Amino acid sequence: MSLPAKAVIVLGRSIWTTIWQVMMAQLAPPSADGEYLRPESGFRGAIESEGQYRLFVGRSCPWAHRTLLVRALLGLEDLLPVSWTLPSAEDGGWRLAEEYQGCDRLSEVYQLGSPGYRGRSTVPMLWDEKLGRPVNNESSEIIVMLNEVFSSQLDLYPVALRGEIDRWNALIYDRVNNGVYRCGFAQSQGAYDAAVEGLFGMLEELEEHLEGRSFLVGEAVSLADVRLFPTLVRFDLVYFGLFKCCRRRVRDYRNLSRYVGEIYRLPGVADTCDFGAIVEGYYGSLFPLNPGGLCRWWEIWDGCKVWDTHFCSSPLRWD
Ligand SMILES: N[C@@H](CCC(=O)N[C@@H](CS)C(=O)NCC(=O)O)C(=O)O
């Protein structure tokens, strides 16, 4: 005997909606209006000298990408070792590609260094190898400290340009970096609509600003570019489809796409981009947004090749 279709739909909707709301509240805590509220980072310590730190990073994560970019641009590969983490589809957390001090999961490393820690085990996380504890897990602070403390020929945050860099950072964080998450993690129509407006309004502004310019501020790459690039490079691959940022693609903007290509071709930058890991990470592990785990892999792959042919002269990484 089969149930009438209407009863199945009503029951299915009510069960699924409840479970979806519970899971979304875990993944992306909302305001009363359904707007995504990003949790504060728990560790906000400072570093003093180079040589005793390690970075925990995942290749799909745009916040971790900032730290990898600074490490590559400043040439810190030998001074700052990296532990790679991989998204775990079962619970949405991070596992370690290689065991670290007996830990297989990032949450265990957090517990090792800070027993009883109850916050999120996020990447990037800067770890003090001498003291055996997390120092800082806020990307915007880690990149400033790496630039300040580690010696390099390059200064990504010159004193004379800090005001201008900070001004762009504030706009870009809210409407672009976190803006795409505010679209994808919105839990009400109003919150989604507002996030989409903010995001595409800002992309238009950036498109105009970048006319005739290679970098956001001044004549060289700076922390403002380090913060914009990870979102733009993921945009057509995952934010456009999965996060429903689908008004336009980055490759539809002449200046923005040229800009991404130019940053991509800076020495060391291409090695920080792993398009396969990005697609798999987002489509594969954000279960409440994509319960079937399906992705437009081949279409995305093809789209990337088009993007590459038009805007980049060096080959993209596919491994
Ligand atoms: N404020 C943090 C955000 C980092 C963040 O949200 N990382 C995500 C990956 S893209 C994460 O590790 N999430 C795991 C979790 O929330 O449990 C930063 O900018 O460093």
pLDDT in tens, 286-298: 999 998 888 876 6
* Overall average pLDDT of the 254-266 stretch: 93
CA distance 262 to 194: 31
Whether 225 and 214 have beta carbons less than 8 Å apart is answered as no
CA distance 169 to 176: 10
Tens of pLDDT, residue by residue over 112-165, are 999 999 999 999 999 999 999 999 999 999 999 999 999 889 999 999 999 999
Q: What is the pLDDT of residue 62?
A: 98
Residue 287 covered by a domain: yes
Does residue 319 carry a pLDDT above 80?
A: no
250 and 289 belong to one structural domain: yes
**Closest residue CA from atom 5 of ligand 1:** 122
User: Is any ligand 1 atom within 6 A of the Cβ of residue 178?
Assistant: no
User: Is any ligand 1 atom within 6 A of the Cβ of residue 122?
Assistant: yes
Q: Is 181 annotated in the active site?
A: yes
User: Is any ligand 1 atom within 6 A of the Cβ of residue 63?
Assistant: yes
Range of the domain at 116: 53-149
Considering the chain, what is the average pLDDT of its residues? 92
Question: What 3-state class would DSSP assign to 37?
Answer: coil
Whether 272 and 278 have beta carbons less than 8 Å apart is answered as no
Q: Return left, alpha or beta for 59; rule: phi > 0 is left, psi -120 to 50 is alpha, else beta.
A: alpha
Residue that finishes a domain, picked among 104, 125, 149: 149
Residue that finishes a domain, picked among 94, 116, 149: 149
What sign has the CA pseudo-torsion 38, 44, 48, 52? negative
Q: What is the pLDDT of residue 2?
A: 74
CA distance 44 to 60: 23
Whether 195 and 179 have beta carbons less than 8 Å apart is answered as yes
Does residue 171 carry a pLDDT above 60?
A: yes
303 and 237 belong to one structural domain: yes
Query: Which residues partner with 54 through β-bridges?
Result: 127
Does residue 303 carry a pLDDT above 70?
A: no
User: Residue 177 Cα, ligand 1 centroid: separation in angstroms?
Assistant: 12
List all residues 6 or more positions away from 91 whose beta carbon is below 8 Å from its beta carbon: none
